Amino acid sequence: MESAGLKVISERCVSIRWKGMFIDMEWDPSKSSEPMSDHIPWCVRTQNCMGPDGQVVALDTCNLTRSCYERI
């Protein structure tokens, strides 16, 4: 299910988080060109911007190619 204009990434890791996940409001297209353009993701397992595999956490790279990946 897509919400607030966000693209659903089915291969995203279950451990990735970003601030917008915890804010309950509609996306306002007049504030940003992309709904995710200002997010800073982190890993729940490491609690920082680096994953357990030593690579940077990102929505487009935290997928099944990573050794620490866990499917949603």
In degrees, rounded to 5, the angle at the alpha carbon of residue 67 between the alpha carbons of residues 47 and 16 is 35
Residue 21 DSSP class:
G
Q: Is the pTM for the entire model greater than 0.85?
A: no
| pLDDT tens, residue order, the chain (72 aa) | 445 555 555 678 999 998 878 877 777 777 655 555 567 899 999 999 999 999 999 988 999 999 999 998
The residues, any chain, with a CB within 8 Å of residue 54's CB and separated by 6 or more, are: none
Q: The dihedral of CA 39, 2, 29, 25: what is its sign?
A: negative
